[in-house]
Structure 1
Amino acid sequence: MTIQINSNYLEKYASEYASIVCERFFSNKKYITGQDIIKLTSSTQVNFFVIKRLFELWQEELAKLKSNPYFDYRDIAVHDALTQFMNVLSRRIKVEKDDLKPLVEAAVSQAVFLATDPVGYYQSEVSKAPDSKINDYLKENKKYYKWHDRAVSFLIDKAGFGHDKGEYLRAISANYQVVKDSLESENLLLATLGDVKAFNLDAYLEKENEPTFSAPETKPVQETSSSFFDQMEEEKPVERKVEEPKVEEPVYKEPVYAEPVSKPSNGADLNPSTLKSRFASQSYKGMKGVIGELSESLAINQRFMFTKELFDGNSDLLTHALKSIDDCRTFNEAIQLVNQRYVHELNWETDTEPVQEFLLLIYRKFDEV
């Protein structure tokens, strides 16, 4: 028995999602640049999968040039000139609406695949890598992996892993079983797509059985000598920074993987009445008055703290949470949403300072006593 994936739903959803995104962006612009793509949607993973595809097309173009039999591409002068040309080309990304839409569609499908089946996705990535360059492929592409990256990042530069794809595939599956409880839930990841169009997970996964998935079908920059794609590490927003698992040197008969990261939880729901009474009775110097939209009111240090301490380092989840709270009508409704989506899903220790500061901001937004 396997989970029945509704590929028709995913195809229709990805097409509608891409249409909405393109209509929004190109309402007053003729083309999109690489820098624009990085922040195209509130889902960082979708954005970076678009960039990943452009990187692949960039490499294909380079391979075509080098396949010409009439020129010596091994010559150092030719190599340096070609590298400089390709790097300049990468910093001149200009994509028009009709060409962007299929890129976004494919990126959405890949993001859903990764969120719902990280083992299947990363095994498909290993399968695409050249036999002799699996580590190089993962190392080159790790900058584009924003969700569930701990399922594969521990393999990069790991001594002892050679060219055997089977070893990589087995290691990914085994490591996932160890770290899966510390990864974000698929519901939270897919919720970041909701700012464009809500994703119905129940419509996509038609039966609840053992999961076995198949991969879906698939501003000017200052001149430097590097490519646009090399700069992705610097340009990316704040992401989840979890210490990578400490892996012993592989022993292939009995491999040893990382211990899971456990997160404390007091398991208690927040009580809106208790919170209102507490905040109303206390004086917060310098914090009086009503604030506007939470999604636009956080200070940089608050955004960093909440991302790191409350949302597993995932800025997409924080952004989506703030916008969802902004859509609430009352403090009680907002706290109910926080209980349902975040306290238990992310195992918040509700008495800690970051949680209390987050709740205080919600209280101040609704100005209730």
Structure 2
Amino acid sequence: MESKLKKEAVKQYSKAFSDKICRQAFQQKGKLNGQDILTLTSIKQINLFVIKELFVHWKTEVERLKSPYFNYEAEEVKSALASFMDIVSQNILIDHSHLRPLLEKAVEDTLYLLLAPYDYYYLLLTHSDRSSWTVAELEEVLKYVRINRSLLERLVSRCHQESLPSISISRVSELFNHVFDQLNEPPEDTEPYIKQFNEQLPLNMEELFSNIVEPKSVAQPIQSPKQEETKSEENKDLNRRTLNDYLNKTDRSTLADIHQQRKIESLSRHISVNQKFMFIRELFNNEPEAFRQTVEQLDSQNSYAEAVNLIRRDLAQKYRWKMDSEEVLEFMELLSKRF
């Protein structure tokens, strides 16, 4: 079943994580400098995102300097401001109350970037107050990214090809989706980062994710207690379904009844972002190209039987799939809806 990060759960964890880090960091200091922030946690991405937020605030303050009496666009003025910025960056000094919200946001952003990179980048690029991006602005963001960096690197490269002074939000979104579809590099291995989070504060992955249950298309009749008991036993049997059950499935109408879903037209279009990263990591040995080619092959089959034969003949043995794993069963459920 498709999973999605729960916003409130991420927020709660980020607050608890930040509270612990701040207590430790300010135990013997009243304020932290730039070097303190760069080593604030063992997760460098969090530290960099804190610095990024500081410079976002700096740019906001610079914007306030614009005046009808002075030309802040003059090259000499811009050069002087850049020099001033270099000096300021070396003299960061921030107390607990001002660091705390920056750290909370940095932790949230890091979790999204690690566990749902598409969601993180898409929201960053499209859900903002701006109407366009410049390549320089995208490169500025890239300076602070260390996890799943290739997605943004590819986007910057594509934007360079556009050779435009600015790129509209809709165009950036279009380019990003194209980059995502063509990405041949595996997603970042989450385990080392999760271990680092756990060393500071236990991270319960089940609490962070929620299952997305699609609503039934038709109303279900009210069941008697006896029918409910029977239905419950049937559901338990379905939950124990293995890959072999799917491979040997011949009764398509019964399968359709089980899923209560209309047939999907394209497997590739109905695999969610989170599912794609999960399947690549868990089922395809971190090989995005192998995943993409397999989905294309399955989509091109003429029947469910042909698709199942392809899986039985090639995939299950090649990648040594665990027959009863949730990832395999979820992949097979999607395939069953394709035909």
Higher radius of gyration, 1 or 2: 2
Correspondence for 2:208: 204
Amino acid at match of 1:62: V
Q: What pairs up with 1:324-343 in 2 under 5 angstroms?
A: none
Identity, % of aligned positions: 25
TM-score by length of 1: 0.52
Q: CA deviation at 1:143?
A: 1.1
Which of the two has greater helix per residue? 2
Amino acid at match of 1:140: E
Q: CA deviation at 1:105?
A: 0.6
How far apart, in 1, do the equivalents of 2:27 and 2:211 lie? 40
1:183-218 residue CA offsets vs partner (Å, 9 max, x unmatched): 2234443332222112112101121676579xxxxx
Give yes or no for the alignment of 1:183 onto 2:187. Answer: yes
Indicate which of 146, 159, 162 corresponds to 2:161.
159
How far apart, in 1, do the equivalents of 2:129 and 2:153 lie? 15
Q: CA deviation at 1:23?
A: 0.9
Amino acid at match of 2:95: E
How far apart, in 2, do the equivalents of 1:13 and 1:125 lie? 21
1:72-104 residue CA offsets vs partner (Å, 9 max, x unmatched): 323444444333333322221101112111111
SS of equivalent residue, structure 2 residue 105: helix
SS of equivalent residue, structure 2 residue 155: coil
Q: What pairs up with 1:31-42 in 2 under 5 angstroms?
A: 31-42=31-42
User: Is the contact made by 2:132 and 2:169 (CA closer than 8 Å) also made in structure 1?
Assistant: no
- Taking a change above 3 Å as real, the CA distance of residues 10 and 74 of structure 1, as seen in their structure-2 partners, is closer
Q: CA deviation at 1:123?
A: 1.8
Task: Note the residue ranges of structure 2 that are not aligned, 5 or more in a row.
Answer: 214-270, 275-288, 290-317, 321-339
SS of equivalent residue, structure 1 residue 140: helix
How far apart, in 2, do the equivalents of 1:7 and 1:167 lie? 27
Correspondence for 1:107: 106
Correspondence for 2:72: 73
- Taking a change above 3 Å as real, the CA distance of residues 27 and 202 of structure 1, as seen in their structure-2 partners, is same
Q: CA deviation at 1:110?
A: 0.8
Correspondence for 2:242: none
Q: CA deviation at 1:61?
A: 0.9
How far apart, in 2, do the equivalents of 1:204 and 1:164 lie? 33
Indicate which of 177, 189, 194 corresponds to 2:198.
194
How far apart, in 2, do the equivalents of 1:166 and 1:189 lie? 32
Q: CA deviation at 1:181?
A: 6.0
SS of equivalent residue, structure 2 residue 91: coil
TM-score by length of 2: 0.56
- Taking a change above 3 Å as real, the CA distance of residues 10 and 86 of structure 1, as seen in their structure-2 partners, is same
How far apart, in 2, do the equivalents of 1:133 and 1:208 lie? 33
SS of equivalent residue, structure 1 residue 156: helix
Amino acid at match of 1:123: Y
How far apart, in 1, do the equivalents of 2:7 and 2:130 lie? 28
User: Is the contact made by 1:112 and 1:190 (CA closer than 8 Å) also made in structure 2?
Assistant: no
How far apart, in 2, do the equivalents of 1:203 and 1:30 lie? 34
User: Is the contact made by 2:5 and 2:116 (CA closer than 8 Å) also made in structure 1?
Assistant: no
Correspondence for 2:253: none
How many residues were matched structurally?
A: 216
Task: Note the residue ranges of structure 1 that are not aligned, 5 or more in a row.
Answer: 214-244, 246-265, 269-369
Give yes or no for the alignment of 1:90 onto 2:66. Answer: no
Range that drifts further, 97-106 or 150-159 = 150-159
Amino acid at match of 2:103: V
How far apart, in 2, do the equivalents of 1:208 and 1:25 lie? 38
RMSD after superposition: 3.0
